[in-house]
Structure 1
C-alpha cells in the first residue's frame, strides 16, 4: 500500500464525525467520503463507544484529505486552529460563508472568520485580499486593513474601493 499524503488533518468530534463529514462534503465541489471505520468490541473500557459505531470518517474536500474522529467529549475545537477557504471572487465567498456559517456561532464572525455548527473555525476570503494586504504601498494596505477589520463576511467591493483610495 502506497502512502498518498503524509500529513492529513484529523478533526476530533464527540460523536458527529459522520454528520460533519457529510455536511462538509456537501459544501465543497469535488469532495467525497472515502472510508468509514467502526469501533470494534475491544477497548470498551477505554473509549466507551458501542461496537460498530463510527470511529473515523476519511473524506476529501476539493481534493484535500481529512479524517474525522469520534473521540468523545474530552476535547473541543477552538480558534487556535482554523481552515482557510481561499476564494476566487465574491460569489465564492458568499457561497462558502453562507454554507459554513449556517447554524454556527454568529458572535465568532469577524474579518472573514466564522465558527460552524460543529465549532470548527474557518477563514473565508478572496485571494485578492492577500495581494492587497501585501502591497508595497503601506497606505493601500492600511486602508484595506481598516475596512476588513469592520467586516464580518468579507465584501470584496469595499476592499477594492479602499485599495484604490
Structure 2
C-alpha cells in the first residue's frame, strides 16, 4: 500500500522470489484499472537464482497476466532497460527504444538469516554474527542500485512528507 501502485506504473521488484509481493503488485495494477480496460502497467520481477525464478513464475502464473516479466540477474548490478514507445507517428517509421524509468521499485534485500534460527535449530551450530554481517554490503549495494536512479524523486518525496 505504501507504494501506491497505479494501473500505468512501471514497477521493478528487485529480489522477487518466491513471488507473494509480486503477486500483490499485479493484483493492485489490475484492481486500479478502469472496468473493461487492461492495465498498461509493467512489473519486472527479478531474482538471482534460476530455481527461485521458477518458483516465482509458478506462484504468479495463476494471475494470468501479460503485465509481468521475470528476469534472472544480480540485483546490485541490474541493467538499465529500454522500452519501445508506441507513438502513432513514430510507429509508422519504427518504434524508438527509450530508457525505461520505473515509477516504483520494491527492494526486499536478502536477509542475514538470523531470523530463521528460531525455526531451524541445526543452524545454531553453523551461524555466526560474521555470517550475518557478510550480507550487509550486498544489502546496501542492492538498495543503492534500486534508489540511485530515483534519488532526486526520493529526496523530493521525503521533503513533501516532512512538510
| Larger strand proportion of the pair | 1
| Larger helix proportion of the pair | 2
**TM-score > 0.5, shorter chain as reference:** no
TM-score (norm 2): 0.26
TM-score (norm 1): 0.25
Identify the structure with bigger relative contact order (alpha carbons < 8 Å, sequence gap 6+): 2
